[in-house]
Structure 1
């Protein structure tokens, strides 16, 4: 079941068995500041490299942005849809998915990484074989998804650090 813009009921986890996903208190407290910094860096990167996406000005960029965001979230949902309930929630302009499902390390890493791979890495590689306006469009899609994947990138790295037998649920993990 997918709950739109509502929180899932809290799942009780035995804290003697489940550890916080981010152990370091400082990093856990300032996690979103790191994500915002990463977003700003990714947002400004095209300017630093001299790319301004000026060749795609006649395309409806806001529509492309909305479409990329929706596809990004659908990919997340596709990975965990059969595992448990899902909630799409938001605060301000930031959206995120929650699930009560217990996910293996592999599935959780795929959940976090697949939208980044499918909408940033693959289009960026594909753009090497394209030219003109279509190349700019593909690079724009790749760039925008990179910006909205900032938290996913950090989480994917943190998931890889955990032991292979780890299971994850609601910001906690157990081995």
Structure 2
């Protein structure tokens, strides 16, 4: 791996009840976070290809970690998302380079498809700051029950010369969805929309 990883954190959030109603089975979200050295911290660099390549490596690594944490087969994943936060000596474009050109394809391999765009967010921040990872259905963007998000925070990341990269995967939608739209069961997954 070309990324200099300082730390990886993985956890699963389960919701068992909502508004006093049991959720059966519980809705589950897995998040995997890598804290890496920013090779371009403190300087402007025109060619961000090395960060794009790191994005591909992290898409595979973090996607596989999420699937393993959920203890599901890759095809059982229902939604996904990605996010990155650069420390103060980086620039927002460093987060964009990690997330956009190459991270998606290996993440889709980790969940055995993914016709829909991978929702993403990027920001600048410092240690202990929250990073929101947006979530959407992996095959059909119109599945409203899977519009969601998960918040991640590490008390010591990102440091000034680091980037915190997060991938989230779920095996379900939101608890008690009832805003209509296409359902998971109705999704075809060919055009990324329906």
The TM-score with structure 2 as length reference comes to: 0.23
Higher relative CO (Cα under 8 Å, sequence separation at least 6) belongs to 1
Structure whose residues are more often strand by fraction: 2
Structure 1 or 2, whichever has the larger Rg, is: 1
Larger fraction in helix: 1
